Each structure stands twice: as structure tokens, then as C-alpha cells.
Amino acid sequence: MSSAPAEVPASQPLLQTPLHALHLELGARMVPFAGYAMPVQYPAGLMAEHRHTRNAAGLFDVSHMGQLRLVGPDAAAAFESMMPVDVIGLGVGKQRYGLLLSDAGTILDDLMFVNRGDDLFVIVNGACKAADIAHIQARIGTRCTVQPLPEQALLALQGPQAVTALSRLVPGVERLVFMTGARFSWQGHDLFLTRSGYTGEDGFEISVHASQAEALARALLAQPEVQPIGLGARNSLRLEAGLCLYGNDIDTTTTPVEAALGWAMQKVRRTGGARAGGFPGANRILGQLDGTAILTRRRVGLIAQERVPVREHTELQDLSGRRVGEVTSGLLGPTCDQPVAMGYVETALAVTGTRLQALVRGKPVPMVVADLPFVPTRYYRGPAA
């Protein structure tokens, strides 16, 4: 999920998350991101932070994200009318990935939502949150209550030892499995946790009142497994996991099918399903899914065949030098130890093993279309049978 860095006018001061003072105390290098001052890295550096998250547990401040509740008996049906996913059928305590769509069927934002029984709890990207909340209010505000939660901070604890560290402070979290959530308490304070994240690792996202965020973060950082992690490693972790960054890999020019996100559209919303269509751009999107509408490009994984990082906006060519697409995210993957990227290419070339080239500073760099993710995900889906 996450959101691309947003340009902030010089006259507009950056916002601060509830953990701002802690970031400075820990020696973080702060940068503008989605209108906030955010830590891009700590003294250990991006590579060390990335590897620590893969091997132990990393704590991320993601309080720039938007949190809101949708309340009322028609909330699920109303929210479903805005997205190509199954909201009505989502069980209590279950979480799902969603896509807000424009009337043209392109992606306004990606998000996560949980059925908490008495409401739908929604998390949207930081750079998009004001527009998202206004859009949701305008579209379905007469059908349910749309309640922003600006008083809530958001922490993410990610990595194979995240459950060990968090369960010391919040007993019972170990019973959650991937894409589920529940209410907990810590020192008498309410928390809402989901077992999910943006790294490809097991982990949790923790909604906590802003007044308690720093104390909870300090308690987590006191655990031997946990270190603070910045936006730089968050980006490299999500790219290795093949996860989209809004503003780079998906935006208002891309449809879910072009973005290879058809997996997020349940059968009940597809052609022939019990609640097929009924969302913005349905004819275009369902046509792209079933082949009755033209699909000219598709998001793919790419691996460079030389040790040259291939960054966003780099032109992709076929072997004859004809432009066939563009890179949207790219870097040297710290875990897979090779230059990896994602981008869009002509549909006929979006086949694993297809050889292309990227034009880096005027030089063609050999690329191969590769399966995603680049690093296997390790989500916790329950005890092995």
C-alpha cells in the first residue's frame, strides 16, 4: 500500500506524527513524505534495517496513513459500490485489500479494511487520505456514517520475531492469523491490531491513540528483537515482496487488471458472480478480465542481468530498441542481492522469461520478466496441518 512522497509547498510546514520527538532522539534522518516529516533511515542505515526486519522485527511509524470508520447497517453494501471487491461477504474479524476506483475504472487509491462487527475500519494512504475521505463521504455519506479518526496513530511491527516481541506486551495477539484483526488493550489503553503489513513478512499493524503512541513504541523498542526502521527499508522490503506503491506502480492511469491485481477481485464481483459489476468502471474492468476489452499493458516483475539498479521512469525496450514500457519502481534488492524492478510492458511481452532492455543513462541494460514476489512471503496463516 503506502503512498508516494508528496511535494509540499515551502510555505506549508510539514506535519509531525506523534513519534516525531522519538525519531529525533533515535538519530533518524527526516524527509518530507506525504506532507509529514518522516524518518527515511536511522543510524544503522537502510541495508541493516532491511535485513533486521527480514531476520527479527522492525518497528515502523506509519501514522501518516489515514484511518476511518464506516458505521451503519448499509455500510458494507455502500462501500462495496465503490470497489470491485467483496465487502458484504467479509466475515467479522477479517481484513481485505481494496481499491477505490474512478468512474473510468482507474485506481484512486488502494486500502485495507476490516469488518469489526459494529463498523468497517479502513486504512488509506497518507498522501491520498484527504481526497479519499472526501470522495467516500460524497459517494456514500448518505448511506452510512463516515468517521475519520485523526486522533489515532498507526505503528507496524514486521518480521519473523514480531509475534514474539508483541505477545510479551499484548498477550493473545499470537492467535491472530494473516488478514485478521481484533481489539486488545495495553496498560489499560485500547488497541486495534491486524496481522498484516507491507513487507512480505509476518507482522502486525497497531492502531493506538496518539497520546499513547510514543509510550507503546518505546515499550516495543525495549524488546530485544525490535529495532526502528525507516521509509527507505520499507520501500525495499515491499518491492522485494512485489507490493505496489501508490503513486508509482498504481495511480489514476492504471486499472486493477493492468496492475495485475485481478486476484483482489473476488468471484462474486466478476462476470457471472452473484453481485457482478455495480462498481465504477465495471464494464471496462470486467471486460479486461474476461478478454472482451482491450488490455494493452500489464505490470510485471523485472530482474536486471547486470548489477545496475534500474529506477522508476526508466524506459523499457524490446531487443530491437523499440519502446515497450516503463519501470515504476526499482532498486538493488538487499535480500535477493540483485537489481529488481516492477514496471508496465505491452501485454504480449508480460510473460515470465521475456527478455527486454532498460535504457539507463543511454546504455541498454538486459532485463528479464520475472515472477513476483522476488522474495517469498512469510505471512502466518495458522499452524501447519
What's the pLDDT score for residue 141?
98
Nearest alpha carbon to residue 33 among 60, 10, 15: 15
What's the pLDDT score for residue 311?
98
Q: How many CB atoms lie within 10 A of CB 92?
A: 12
What lies within 8 Å, CB to CB, of 277 at 6+ separation is 269, 271, 283, 286
Average pLDDT for the chain = 96
pTM: 0.96
Whether 175 and 166 have beta carbons less than 8 Å apart is answered as: no
Whether 301 and 369 have beta carbons less than 8 Å apart is answered as: yes
- How confident is the model over 270-299, as a mean pLDDT? 97
Please give the single-letter amino acid code of residue 187: Q
Q: What's the angle, vertex CA 153, arms to CA 207 and CA 333, rounded to 5?
A: 85
pLDDT digits (tens, 9 = 90+) for 307-358: 999 999 999 999 999 999 999 999 999 999 999 999 999 999 999 999 999 9
Q: What's the angle, vertex CA 65, arms to CA 79 and CA 125, rounded to 5?
A: 55
Give kind and range of the element (H or E) at residue 290.
Answer: helix 282-290
Give kind and range of the element (H or E) at residue 140.
Answer: helix 129-140
CA dist 116 and 340 (Å) reads 37
What's the pLDDT score for residue 9?
46
Whether 262 and 295 have beta carbons less than 8 Å apart is answered as: no
Displacement of CA 382 from its chain's centroid (Å): 22
Q: Could you tell me the domains of the chain? A: 1-229 (3.30.1360.120)
